Each structure stands twice: as structure tokens, then as C-alpha cells.
Structure 1
Amino acid sequence: MKKFLQNKKLLTVCVVLIVIFSVLGTSVHLRNKRNTPLIIQSFGNDIVAVGTRIVDWPVSLVSGGLNNVNALLNAQNENNYLKSKVTNLEQTKARNSVLEAENKQLKSALKIKGSLADYDLVSASVISRSPDSWTDLLVINKGATSGLRKNMAVMSGGGVIGRVIEVNAASAKVELITTSDKDANRFAVEATATNGKKVHGIITVVGDNTLAFTQAIDSNKLKQGTQVYTSGMGGNSPKGLLIGSIAKATRDSFGLSDLIKIKPAGELNDPSLVTVIRRKVED
């Protein structure tokens, strides 16, 4: 005991521990009896609370900013994704429209094949059509290697639209029946009159690219709606190819002869697919 009392360090530690436990015990005892905490405790608690708020404010501000930036990036990505979907939708609609048009023309070509059993049919696609010669010429992707020759008739949409005027190895130039060229080789045609007889003539272009049945005898016996076919008498095209139907019969500008306007049966506005008529037996 005497040695213990003489050891100052150990004695100091014991005293400190006793004081600490006494303070803690007294604090707990007073806290249990008091309705409010001690001033020192309350002051310490307020300091901790304020410090926590000070630290939390910039942290929450930075965190909120990062969340906003992330939301903007996500919104931009979603916007780009939706734009790509809209673009793809428009492309799909355009492609469907083209396929529908091609399907319609292919069906017309099949009908031609069923009615023209004496001829070979060569299907081709239009690859060029110049705006300055829109009603005159177009270029197709078949040529001499596919058996095409000059003056072969060309059909699209169920009716004649022109004839081949120039043949290359892998392409050909087609002159349309609506051409304004006065030197164009016109189709010889025929139609059945009301008396059952055949009326012959040729197809020419009058006015604003309007087809007309001209040089016809007894043209007054041709009624509206009568179908007009190639007669084969020109020597350049086979007989029986549909040109169109009679739309209207009037007098010419001089009042001397009948002017019979023809409504074309072929697809002249947008012939993306055509059928070239190749005779099996040469003239």
C-alpha cells in the first residue's frame, strides 16, 4: 500500500479514472432527473448539428448537380434514340411505298405475259430519266446482252409507253410515246368501230403531250372508252399491244377533221419497272 501511494503515475491514473466515472455517473444521474440537458451538453449538441448542416449543404449541392447532369445526358441519349427511330420509320415508309409501286407494276407485267404468249418478255428497271427530256426519253438496265434490239415495244402498267431507239451492251434508251420529237417513229394502231369494222391510224402527240388517234377513216364511229391497240402494220411492233382508250372525240383547230384523244393505259408518270416485248418470230 505504501509503495502504491508512493507511485505518483499510478496514483494519478486512478484519480483521473475516479473523476471521469464520477462525472459520467453524475451526468447520467442529472440527465435522468432534468427535463433539459446541461448547458455544456446542449452547446456541444448544437455545435455538432450546425457542423453537420454546414458539411451536408455543399455535398447535397454537388450531388444534386451531378444528378441533374446525369439526367440531361440520359435525356439527350433518349432524344437521339427517338430521332433515329423516327428517321428509320420514314425510311421504312418510303421503301414500302416503292415496293408497293413495284409490286403493282410486276402484277401488270404478269397480266401482259398471260395475254402475249407469242412474245418473249424482258423485264428491266429504269435507271435514268432526265428532267429536261422527261416526256421523251428514259434509260433501262437491259441491253444487247439480254436480246434487246432497236424498235422493240416497251410496256409498263399494262400498256405501251414507248419503243427502244438505242441499244448498248448493258443498257438501252427508250423513246416514250409522249415525245414531242416530230421525227419520232409513231405506232400504227387500230380500234374496233361501232359497226364492228377496224379503224386504222397512227398515234401522234398534240398540244400539251396529249396522245391522239390520227389519220383514221370513219373515226366518227369510234366511241368513248373504245380500246386502241397496235396494229402491227408499221413493221416495228407486234400486233395487239394495248395503247389506251378513247377519251374524247372533237374537231381539230381548223374544224376539218376529227381529233380523237387517247387516254394512255401505260404508266408514263413513274415507270420504275418496264417490260420489253421481244418477238419470237422475226418480221
Structure 2
Amino acid sequence: MNFFRSKKLFVILIGFILLVVLIGYSLNSRGHLNFAEKVVSDAVGWVQNVVQAPVTFVTDVTSNISEFKTTYEENQVLREQLSQQKSLVYDLQKIEEENEELRSIIDMTNTARDYEPIYASVIARSPEQWVDQVTINRGTNDGVQENMVVRTAEGMIGKILHTSRGTSTVQLLTGFDEFNRVSATVLRKDKSDIFGMIEGFDDETEMLLFRIIEESDEDIKEGDTVYSSELGGEFPEGITIGEVKEVVADQYGLTRIAMVEPAADLFDIRNVIVVNRSMEQPEGEEEGDDES
């Protein structure tokens, strides 16, 4: 019995010694891995790489999607802000142009002595009559009548074709022809003026056709200004129509045609003046006329 007990103690002692040796050996060899540890370490590393690769891929994709979404949202905001800025710049430019045009109209009408201006704005321009007609927001309720001259600050653009109570249709100079003409003249200092008719529009050159009826001793030439004339009995005189750019013979060679560039922009019309010549005379003048 004692023998077996002594043997067990001996085995325990030997095991303890071996454990101490192994621990010591392990501590002394901490800087170097044995073959088994290397195999285990490589296996663990391989498993980690296999597991980490899809995790990293998914993480990167998720991160890229998030960054792309954020960038897209920022771009949308920037695009909207840029669009708003462009819209504000456009609105500001239009307002400045309109103010300049209205100031020109006011300055021009302040010097008017022979007619009463009726201010109006263009409210429609149908595609079918884009070149020939526009609709304004003044009608018979405002004193507008057929055949009244319509102009801008730069010059004549046409006449009233027909009216309603609140609106009127303007026949532009581009729609005039030999049956619908404007009596016009070129003034000459110390010489007879040159008279003719605006009776058409050349679509190719975008010029008005001024048929010369009566010339002075000095021929019409490039740079001359064409004004409206009262000789036709329908329009007031002195309204600028345009500037002569070229003089050619008509198709029959009997008369000459001056190609006139319109003073007003006939394709961009916003604010206009209807020339009302039916102004009431002051009472003092009427009494003077009666006495005479």
C-alpha cells in the first residue's frame, strides 16, 4: 500500500517537474514559435483573412454608397441654388431692361406736344401671327381706337388693327404691304424733303421697304433717318421709323426702294405707347377759336 502511495507521489513529482520545465521553456522561447504554434498561427491567420475579406468588401461598398448618396444630395442642393441664382440674375436683368425702357418712354413722352400717350404692355403674341401682330392690354375703355399709331421709345412699331373693351391687336410694320402703308419722309435741311411709303418687309434682310415717291435735289443715302409723315392723313408726323441701309431699284426699274432698318426691335416688344391724337383742346383755345 505504501508502495503504491510512494509511486503516485513520485509520478506527481515528475509531472510537476516536467510542468515547470515546460513553463520555463515556454517563457524562454517567447520570441520564437515552434512548429505547432506556427501551424496554428497560420491557420488562424488564413481563417481571419477569409472572414475579413467579405466583411471589408461589404463595409467598403456600404461606405461608398453612403458617400455617393451624400455627394448626390449635395450636388442636388448646389444645382438648385445655382438654378435659383440664375433665375434671380435673369429676373434682375429683365427688371433693369424694363426700367430702362420705361425711363426712355417717360423721357420721350415728356417732350410730346401733339398727342396723348396711352401706355400699354404686350400680353400675347400668337405663333401664327408672330411676325405680324401682337396683343396689348388696352382697349376702347382706355381710349384706344383703330388705326392709332403704336410705338416704343425707339420708334414706330405699327398701328391698332382692331380693338375690344380691354385689349387691342397691333398690326406690326412687318405685316404692312402695298394696301396697308405708312406715309414716311426723309428730312433735308435747306432742301425739299424726300417722301415715300413704307409698304412691306423683307424677311430675308429683316428690312422695311420704303418706296420713294418724290425725291429732293439730294438723293437719299445710307444713314438717313426715315420718319412718319402726315401726308397720308392717318399718322402723326415725326415718329422715327428707321434708318436707311441700302437703296435699290424696284423689280420694274421705275422707282427706287430704300431698305430701312427698323428703329424699334419688332421681335422683342414688351411696353408700348398708343398715340392718341384726339386730345381735347384747352378751353381757352376753344374760346379763342370761337371768337376768331
Structure 2 length normalisation: TM-score? 0.70
- Give the residue type in structure 1 aligned to 2:119: S
Return closer, same or farther for 1:48/1:201 CA change in 2, 3 Å cut-off: closer
Return closer, same or farther for 1:268/1:39 CA change in 2, 3 Å cut-off: closer
Q: Give the conservation status (yes or no) of the 8 Å contact 2:196–2:210.
A: no
Which of 135, 152, 172 is residue 176 of structure 1 equivalent to? 172
Using the aligned pairs only, state the percent identity. 26
Return closer, same or farther for 1:64/1:206 CA change in 2, 3 Å cut-off: closer
Which of 172, 191, 196 is residue 196 of structure 1 equivalent to? 191
The 10-residue stretch of structure 1 (62-71 or 96-105) with the greater mean CA deviation from structure 2: 96-105
Provide Cα deviations, 1:101-148, integer angstroms capped at 9, x if missing partner: 545543542442243244333333323333443342221222234332
Look up the match of 1:243. Answer: 241
Which of 115, 131, 136 is residue 119 of structure 1 equivalent to? 115
CA RMSD of aligned residues (A): 3.7
Matched, 1:146 2:142: yes
Cα distance, 1:180 vs structure 2:
4.2
Partner-residue secondary structure (3-state), 2:269: coil
Look up the match of 2:124. Answer: 128
- Give the residue type in structure 1 aligned to 2:220: K
Matched, 1:223 2:210: no
Q: Give the conservation status (yes or no) of the 8 Å contact 2:116–2:279.
A: no
Matched, 1:69 2:65: yes
Return closer, same or farther for 1:255/1:194 CA change in 2, 3 Å cut-off: farther
* 1:95-114 alignment, distance < 5 Å: 98-99=94-95, 102=98, 105-114=101-110
Return closer, same or farther for 1:177/1:41 CA change in 2, 3 Å cut-off: closer
Provide Cα deviations, 1:250-274, integer angstroms capped at 9, x if missing partner: 4433333343443321221322332
Matched, 1:272 2:270: yes
Look up the match of 2:255. Answer: 257
Return closer, same or farther for 1:233/1:41 CA change in 2, 3 Å cut-off: same
Cα distance, 1:66 vs structure 2:
1.4
**Alpha-carbon distance in structure 1 between the residues aligned to 2:60 and 2:245:** 75
Return closer, same or farther for 1:37/1:255 CA change in 2, 3 Å cut-off: closer
Structure 1 unaligned regions, length at least 5:
1-15
Partner-residue secondary structure (3-state), 1:232: coil
Structure 2 unaligned regions, length at least 5:
1-11, 282-292
